[in-house]
Amino acid sequence: MRRSHILSTGFRVPDRVVTNEELTTLMDTTDEWIQQRSGILERRWVDGSEAGSDLGAAAAEMALERAGLRARDVDCLIVATLSPDHFFPGTGVFLQRKLGIKDIPCLDVRNQCSGFLYGLSVADAWIRVGQYERVLLVGTEVHSTGLHRNDAGRDTAVLFGDGAGAVVLGAVTEERHTRDRGVLSVHIHADGAHAEKLWVEAPSSASDPFISHEDIDEGLTRPAMQGRDVFKHAIVRMPEAVHEALAANDYSVDDIDMLIPHQANLRISQAVQKILGLPDDRVYNNIQRYGNTTAASIPIALHECIEEGRLHDGDLLCLTAFGSGFTWGSALIRW
């Protein structure tokens, strides 16, 4: 049986640390409010010199080096982001150019906080059917330049951060590895009934002109979120997706060695952990240091979880995400 497996990980966050205290100089908020509602202590913001494709390329280079591969050894590039460098073309081709890779397909995935899992689903399927041997999957976000960094955006600006995470996926077979090593399943979902609950309304090709001065003045180019609705759905959909993954593979919650939830909000992760009944040492969170980095949050957390020695050979790793769309999903991986 041919499966895909994560061969290596890499990450890159901007050097600039933005503390909650610094945010209090930009908007009406407090360190206490941010910590209590989200668990976030600080996040990283670019200084104007790095685009999402730069962060993504740095994360990808680290992942490639750790896999002992050169960029040209990769057959395909998938980039997940909700903050593309440009309206079009997608960030994938800019990232490809920065890596110096020519003539491989570049797929852009636009499924926000679930983008990494959507990308993983495609990468896994391509590898399983033998279309590609090695896929580079990158989640990258530059949120800071698109946020209302003032009172008008205080409910969103405090939550999001910039960063990128990357994984190299390769084919594994039963001959080389134990029976069920690798990506066991990926389940992805969406419900467009909630599309406007976390979105950026403009620019919009559904309007003519697609951007106006009024749009900018009214703040339509900035993210708008119904936070409570997002919270309520997230804590239902993520546990549901985890159970779906476990059932599909004949496992139970007790079999999970490590759960890495999308880092949306520490309170969401803690609620998901409680609903599933997992102890602290089997859930990984690092939102405290990076905020919500959307498509990058799972690969960054995975990288740090490995670096901290918390993921071991043979462990059952579960990933789950929820976000704008709404979109959500889960993956189960035998490490």
- Residues marked active site are found at 113, 262, 292
Q: Does 230 participate in binding ligand COA (rule CB under 6 A)? A: yes
Q: Which of 51, 264, 301, 319 binds ligand COA (CB under 6 A)?
A: 264
Cα-based distances in Å from 246 to 46, 177, 249, 260, 282: 38, 22, 5, 14, 15
Residue 75 neighbours by CB distance under 10 Å: 17
Q: How far apart are CA 288 and CA 276, in angstroms?
A: 22
For ligand COA, the binding residues in 156-175 under the rule CB under 6 A are 158-159
Q: How far apart are CA 133 and CA 199, in angstroms?
A: 35
Q: Give the range of 44-52, 119-127, 151-159, 176-184 binding ligand COA by CB under 6 A.
A: 151-159
Please give the DSSP secondary-structure letter assigned to residue 283: B
Phi, psi of 267 (to 5 degrees): -65, -35
Q: Which of 22, 227, 253, 315 binds ligand COA (CB under 6 A)?
A: 227
State the nearest-atom distance from the C-beta of 262 to ligand COA, in Å.
7
Would you state the structure tokens that stand for residue 207, as one six-digit string?
Answer: 């309007």
Q: Does 199 participate in binding ligand COA (rule CB under 6 A)? A: no
Site track for ligand COA across 232-261, x = CB under 6 A: ------------------------------
Helical ranges in 69-141 per DSSP H: 91-99, 115-128
Q: Does 228 participate in binding ligand COA (rule CB under 6 A)? A: yes
Site track for ligand COA across 58-97, x = CB under 6 A: ----------------------------------------
18's enclosing H/E stretch is: strand 17-19
Please report, as ranges, the residues that interact with ligand COA according to CB under 6 A.
29, 33, 37-38, 113, 154-155, 158-159, 225, 227-228, 230-231, 264-265, 268, 292, 323
